[in-house]
Structure 1
């Protein structure tokens, strides 16, 4: 099952890419929602091969999660392979320079169930597809708004 959303950000592609790959804010947000997510090997720079482990709540139950940054093309694309419970997922963000000052960020989440429980979760998500897309769009828009504000304040680098 795939979910796709996009957001145009009023900032140059290089700036947007760097801000989107600052995972410290993402990690803080997810911990704020009750998840336990830790970097493996305490890496400081987002590059291919970096990993996270921990647990997240899915349908009221804590489930083990592992994630790995499996592809990075600077200023173009980043892909994260995720395993949570009996489900595999790939989260990919693509960065397209629409102009020197505007970047389109397209996010795609592809979920593949590997167990019966995961299949049931996917079926529930199909019924709530609109809400899932709305959440993804809202998250991407909030990130985009913060990046735009940082760019306008002159935090260019």
Structure 2
């Protein structure tokens, strides 16, 4: 099952890239939602091959999670492949400069299930597809707004 959303961010491509690939914010957000995430190898810079492992509660049950940045082309594309329980997630974030101060961020999330439980969860997501797309669009918009605000503050100084 694929989900696609995009957002135009009023900031230069390099700044948008830097903010969207700073994974410490995503880690904090996941921890705030009850996930346990650990960086494999205690890496400090986002580069191809960095990984996370941990656990997350889905439908009341703790499930293992692994994630790895499988492709990273600076300022252009970031691909993260992960597995949550029996579900595989392939996430692509593409950064396209529309002008020197506007960048389009396109997010594509492809989910597939290997277990019956994961298939049931995926079926539920299919039924709530509109709501899932709204949530993804909201996450992208919030991040974009944060980058725009930082860019405006930077230009005022």
- Give the shorter-chain TM-score range: over 0.9
Structure 2, unmatched stretches of 5+, are none
Name the structure 1 match of 2:116.
116
Name the structure 1 match of 2:94.
94
TM-score computed with the length of structure 2 as normaliser:
0.96
The structural deviation recorded for 1:149 is: 0.5
Give runs of aligned pairs for residues 38-117 of structure 1, distance below 5 A.
38-117=38-117
The structural deviation recorded for 1:87 is: 0.9
2:20 equivalent to 1:24:
no
Q: Distance in 2 between matches of 1:63 and 1:108?
A: 23
The structural deviation recorded for 1:60 is: 2.3
Q: Distance in 2 between matches of 1:122 and 1:130?
A: 14
The structural deviation recorded for 1:59 is: 2.0
Structure 1, unmatched stretches of 5+, are none
Q: Distance in 2 between matches of 1:139 and 1:90?
A: 17
Across the two proteins, how many residue pairs are aligned to each other?
155
Instruction: Kindly report structure 1 stretches of 4+ aligned residues shifted beyond 2 Å.
Output: none
Counterpart secondary structure, 2:15:
helix
